[in-house]
A and B are shown apart, each in its own frame.
Chain A
């Protein structure tokens, strides 16, 4: 990242440079910090690791607050940091969902073309989940945790003043009143509308390609998300039937003598299979679904980022035109030109960063899912495996035991 001086002026915290090998933090000058952040495509992934994380955030301990007016949940946010920008090395505050929303919109305002990890969605009435349902709260808590950590990992966002305030101030309310808020949001929307009417003069090829990708990516993520949810539904229905299937074998075993053993054997295998399916569903719900869901939301974030970038360019172009009719001055146009370049660079840099983490996140989630499925089949295979049934065969007749093996090799004959 090539910082403009203005960006660096926003804060002066020193990011210690730590090589992963020795683990000893060493203070750096701002200049060397800039060099460190210089975009280097080949070592990008290495750099990500080399940029040492010095802010560690956890989100936990949801509690409900009941007041006369409303009921809401707050989460405990604990921060441990070695960053010198922070007065203390440890903070603990309580935040509610609205506070997270505030942080996100502040960050979006200050860094319009950076890609900010999505927040979990607001509670929507039509989804069948109760607002204070334990699963819902837990899912939300995990997503909030990821949200803050992604910001803490981000080389630029982690230096945000609002981020620091969010993590450290006991009461957020006074800070929420200050600063641009509703009005600036309003004007941004109006500007966006005006600009969409006028259209962009020329869009750089790279951003047109990016836009196309974002649209496609959004479609694909929605599809994958949908398919995954259907798979979970089918698994659930299968499991429900298995729960009725197993007991029938036990019921049959009650009226049999010699057949009771193998019948009970198969019955318990079916029961085991049903338990494993339950675990499989849980794994999908906890690993793949949240990841996919976040990237569906990411796609929307990307679309918003592209829109904001377009707006910035449109504003510049508008003022640039106005130069000719002398309704504006060169200085303003230059400022806007700078803004455009800044925005484009920020986006470029963050784009490849985002692509890398997207790839890593989705790859890891799919690998985990595939591994769980292998594990599922291995466990089920083992439960049906001869140890119980073979021993039963061997007890009654060796012929039967050899039948067991023959049957495995030959096609069925009456």
Chain B
């Protein structure tokens, strides 16, 4: 997705700010940059390594979601339920104890609903930011082998990885990483919930919900935001489709591999009745078993690829909500401007005595007599007051809108670069996975061929 270049300057500023903040410790740069590269390439590298170098937060601490565990407790309707909790480990960066081993981390347990609460808080507090998504609540796009059960160990494990990814995304975000509630989420087990509620974000959350579901039409939509909204809708559709078909392909491939185990069984039985052919058949059969078993690891690895795509599928929702928020602000701006111009017109009418706008008041005064000079003057004064307030409101709305647009486009640019890099990497690692799968296949069938030769 190409961004209009007007936003470039602001993003450059933010980037250079970033560089200044981190300039103290260049030794933390990841060791993947070449030294003989052009300036555009080096800029790319800087962006890429920003995640590596990290924000101020990431410089301070290492974050991971180390484990998952089951708990039982009473829920809101006082019924027993089993749920999973995840262990968050934080460790000061580069911490080494006297013996040379890394220091013990600080830990706390969080359940999925607390992650959800954190995210909702961030969505409301930073409406111009594309907030990283959580891993899916329920397993979707599964192929037959994976269970859709939330307590299934494979699902829990992949969710653990997804939650860690979520926290690291937050921690490497130039804006979100500085949020205090996020910091408390990582460090304060008790009392975090209260701290979140104390921010009063709940009220904003309700109004946000209202605005997101409201129907309104904007007269002059921002072309860039409209394009972005359409793009994210397209992306959502195409990734969903891709994930669906990929799951079916995985299912079929599983079938192909597993059915070869039957060769293993039959060759083994057949070798028992043959003299010269027996050995060759027997060992060929073993290779067939190996072949059939190899698909489990192959598809397990492919799930990582699916998870990467899923993350960006969920990201499209966050993008859309930023667009929506902008629409709302734009609408409110238009309303404020409309309101102001209406009031101004009313004042003009009252002053000149002409009725340009049909109004009931105007008509009744015509029918039932004019107002006194005094009455008119007090009305005008009241209007002037109202106009002043309206102008202030409009100025405020304009400022709000501009600020929103600037901050939003900053983040949209950042997001786009991140998306390009991540998805490109995902596609490349998919290709690598396919090559690795082929190599295994070549190995097994070459071995089998050798065995058949000995038949």
Using a CB–CB distance below 8 Å, which chain A residues touch chain B? 213, 216-217, 220, 223-224, 227, 230-231, 234-235, 237-238, 240-242, 244-245, 248-249, 251-252, 255-259, 262-263, 265-266, 269, 273, 359, 362-363, 366-367, 370-371, 373-374, 376-378, 380-381, 384-386, 389, 393, 396-400, 402-404, 406-408, 412, 414
Q: Which residues of B contact A397 (CB under 8 A)?
A: 41, 44-45, 48
Q: Which of B104-112, B234-242, B331-339 contacts A (4 or more CB under 8 A)?
A: B234-242
- 7 smallest CB-CB distances across A and B, nearest first, come from A381-B438, A370-B449, A377-B441, A238-B252, A373-B445, A220-B270, A414-B165
B246 CB–A CB distance under 8 Å: yes
The CA-CA distance from A363 to B2 in the complex, in Å, is 59
B263 CB–A CB distance under 8 Å: yes
Q: Which residues of B contact A374 (CB under 8 A)?
A: 441-442, 445-446, 449
Contact of B48 among A224, A245, A399 (CB under 8 A): A399
A381-B442 CB under 8 A given contacts A238-B252, A403-B32: yes
Which residues 135-190 of B sit at the A interface, judged by CB distance below 8 A? 161, 164-165, 168-169
A sample of 5 cross-chain residue pairs with beta-carbon separation below 8 angstroms, ordered by A number, consists of A255-B234, A363-B280, A370-B452, A398-B34, A400-B421
The CA-CA distance from A262 to B449 in the complex, in Å, is 35
Q: Which of B73-81, B119-127, B382-390, B428-436 contacts A (4 or more CB under 8 A)?
A: B428-436
Q: Which of B191-199, B253-261, B320-328, B354-362 contacts A (4 or more CB under 8 A)?
A: B253-261
Q: Which residues of A contact B435 (CB under 8 A)?
A: 381, 384-385
Is the Cβ of B252 less than 8 Å from the Cβ of A367?
no
Q: Which residues of B contact A407 (CB under 8 A)?
A: 425, 428-429, 432
Nearest chain A CB to B378 CB, angstrom units:
60
The CA-CA distance from A404 to B32 in the complex, in Å, is 11
Contact of A362 among B41, B238, B439, B455 (CB under 8 A): B455
Nearest chain A CB to B38 CB, angstrom units:
10
B453 CB–A CB distance under 8 Å: yes
Contact of A244 among B231, B245, B255, B266 (CB under 8 A): B245
Is the Cβ of B256 less than 8 Å from the Cβ of A234?
yes
Interface centre among A213, A224, A371, A384 (most CB of B within 10 A): A384
Using a CB–CB distance below 8 Å, which chain B residues touch chain A? 1-2, 32-34, 37, 41, 44-45, 48-49, 161, 164-165, 168-169, 231, 234-235, 238-239, 241-242, 245-246, 248-249, 251-253, 255-256, 259-260, 262-263, 266-267, 269-270, 273, 276-277, 280, 284, 304, 420-421, 423-425, 427-432, 434-435, 438-439, 441-442, 445-446, 448-449, 452-453, 455
Residue of B nearest to A253 (CB): B238
Q: Which residues of B contact A224 (CB under 8 A)?
A: 263, 266-267, 270
Is the Cβ of A259 less than 8 Å from the Cβ of B252?
no
Nearest chain A CB to B419 CB, angstrom units:
8
Q: Which residues of A contact B251 (CB under 8 A)?
A: 241
Q: Which residues of B contact A376 (CB under 8 A)?
A: 441
Residue of A nearest to B311 (CB): A414
A389-B428 CB under 8 A given contacts A220-B270, A371-B449, A414-B165: yes
Nearest chain A CB to B387 CB, angstrom units:
46
Is the Cβ of B438 less than 8 Å from the Cβ of A359?
no
Q: Which residues of A contact B270 (CB under 8 A)?
A: 220, 223-224
Is the Cβ of B41 less than 8 Å from the Cβ of A238?
no
Counted as pairs of residues, one from A and one from B, with CB atoms less than 8 Å apart, the total is 185
Is the Cβ of A400 less than 8 Å from the Cβ of B256?
no
The CA-CA distance from A407 to B168 in the complex, in Å, is 19
Residue of B nearest to A360 (CB): B455
Contact of B246 among A240, A245, A269, A366 (CB under 8 A): A245
The CA-CA distance from A380 to B249 in the complex, in Å, is 16
Interface centre among B234, B256, B270 (most CB of A within 10 A): B256
Is the Cβ of A370 less than 8 Å from the Cβ of B245?
no
Q: Which residues of B contact A396 (CB under 8 A)?
A: 44, 424
Residue of B nearest to A356 (CB): B276
Interface centre among B165, B280, B455 (most CB of A within 10 A): B455
Contact of A256 among B1, B34, B442 (CB under 8 A): B1
Is the Cβ of B424 less than 8 Å from the Cβ of A370?
no
A234-B252 CB under 8 A given contacts A255-B234, A363-B277: yes
Is the Cβ of B235 less than 8 Å from the Cβ of A241?
no
Is the Cβ of B249 less than 8 Å from the Cβ of A242?
yes
Is the Cβ of B304 less than 8 Å from the Cβ of A412?
yes
The CA-CA distance from A367 to B445 in the complex, in Å, is 10
Is the Cβ of A259 less than 8 Å from the Cβ of B420?
yes
Nearest chain B CB to A267 CB, angstrom units:
10
Q: Which residues of A contact B239 (CB under 8 A)?
A: 252
The CA-CA distance from A230 to B269 in the complex, in Å, is 19
Nearest chain B CB to A269 CB, angstrom units:
7
Residue of A nearest to B49 (CB): A399
Nearest chain B CB to A299 CB, angstrom units:
12
Is the Cβ of B428 less than 8 Å from the Cβ of A399?
no
A366-B284 CB under 8 A given contacts A244-B245, A399-B48: yes
* Besides A403-B32, A406-B32, 18 new A-B residue pairs in contact (Cβ under 8 A), listed by A number: A217-B273, A220-B270, A227-B266, A238-B252, A241-B245, A244-B245, A252-B238, A257-B1, A259-B427, A266-B430, A370-B445, A370-B452, A380-B434, A384-B435, A393-B424, A396-B44, A398-B34, A398-B41
